[in-house]
Amino acid sequence: MAKIISVHEYELKHDIDERAFKQAILDAEKRGLLQLAGLTEYHLVKGIKGSRTGSYAAICVYQDRQAWEKLWGSPDKPKGKSDYPENWRVWEEEILAPFLCQDPDKIVFTSYEEW
């Protein structure tokens, strides 16, 4: 089955301590906030070349489209924030929100399907 790979672009506030951001991510991982059914890998990355040099992104790899849609809904009928898994809402509200320039639910992202 084809995997789904989502790339989420994070724009940090200008006055954020990057070490504090990294520590918040590590703490979230320890709390299991990134453990979602069907999410097989999660990578936090920082751009080293290109248009997003110095910017952060998250790369989420899902088992397949069925698992991804169970979590987030279909492309034409996405789930609302209130329907997200509880640990993901905590991830967005407690971990990401204090660091990001915008609402975590409004970040730029693209989901890709392997072919």
pLDDT at 1: 87
Amino acid at 83: D
pLDDT at 42: 95
Q: Which long-range contacts (CB under 8 A, 24 or more apart) does 27-31 make?
A: 27/95, 28/91, 28/95, 31/87, 31/90
Residue 111: closest CA among 70, 71, 68: 68
pTM exceeding 0.75: yes
Note down the domain range covering 50.
4-113
Question: Strands 39-46 and 73-74, how do they pair?
Answer: unpaired
What tens digit of pLDDT does each residue of 31-54 get?
A: 999 999 999 999 999 999 999 999
Amino acid at 68: W
Q: What is the CATH number of the domain that holds 29?
A: 3.30.70.100
What tens digit of pLDDT does each residue of 54-113 get?
A: 999 999 999 999 999 999 999 999 999 999 999 999 999 999 999 999 999 999 999 999
CA distance 58 to 80: 20
Number of domains making up the chain: 1
pLDDT at 11: 95
Question: Strands 108-113 and 56-62, how do they pair?
Answer: unpaired
